[in-house]
Amino acid sequence: MDKKKGDDKKSSGSISENISNIASLGNLSYPKLSFGQRAADILSRSAGSWTFIIGFFVFLIFWMMVNVYAWINTWDPYPFILLNLVLSCLAAIQAPVILMSQNRQAEKDRLKVGYDYKVNRKTEKEVGEIVKQLNRIEKKLNK
């Protein structure tokens, strides 16, 4: 009889441990981010937004209008070679920075998946123990 009470305490202790482990997953602390990592996150957030896309589209139209219709005709005439250079440089700088941010996010995701796997394994063991206990109770009731 005492053995069963000990089993119950053991079982409830591991359940409360699982609950505290799951609760602590939301409070994962990551090492302090470097300037480059923070900049990559900010750039990824802003460059992937509709505000940026619309704003950049407005900038491109403004550039073309100024150069086609305004008094600065000789600055960057119709084929817009300088604009093409600016856009190429922007893409060349933005792409690797965004990839760095995505790689770090993938690292965080792998860590969370590892925790999820551990929690799922513990849950599976707990459910197995509960099923065994229910089977024992059922056998005793059927006697």
Model pLDDT for residues 20-54, shown as the tens digit of each residue: 655 665 555 556 888 888 888 888 888 878 898 89
Q: Give the pLDDT confidence score for residue 50 in this predicted structure.
A: 84
Rounded Cα distance, 7 and 121, in Å: 19
Number of helices followed by number of strands (H, E) in the chain: 4, 0
Q: How many CB atoms lie within 10 A of CB 96?
A: 10
Q: Domain for residue 24, yes or no?
A: no
Rounded Cα distance, 40 and 105, in Å: 11
Q: Domain for residue 21, yes or no?
A: no
pLDDT more than 70, % of the chain: 74
Residue 141 pLDDT class (50, 70, 90 cuts): very high
Q: Domain for residue 41, yes or no?
A: yes
Q: Give the pLDDT confidence score for residue 34 in this predicted structure.
A: 86
Q: Worst-scoring range by mean pLDDT, 6-15, 100-109, 110-119?
A: 6-15
Q: Domain for residue 69, yes or no?
A: yes
Q: Domain for residue 7, yes or no?
A: no
Q: Domain for residue 47, yes or no?
A: yes
SS3 49: coil
Q: Give the pLDDT confidence score for residue 140 in this predicted structure.
A: 92
Q: Give the pLDDT confidence score for residue 71 in this predicted structure.
A: 62
Give the residue numbers spanning the domain of 124. Answer: 33-142
Question: Nearest to residue 64, comparing CAs of 51, 52, 55, 77?
Answer: 77
* pTM of the predicted model as reported, rounded to 2 decimal places: 0.53
Q: Structural domain tally of the chain?
A: 1
Q: Domain for residue 102, yes or no?
A: yes
Q: Domain for residue 19, yes or no?
A: no
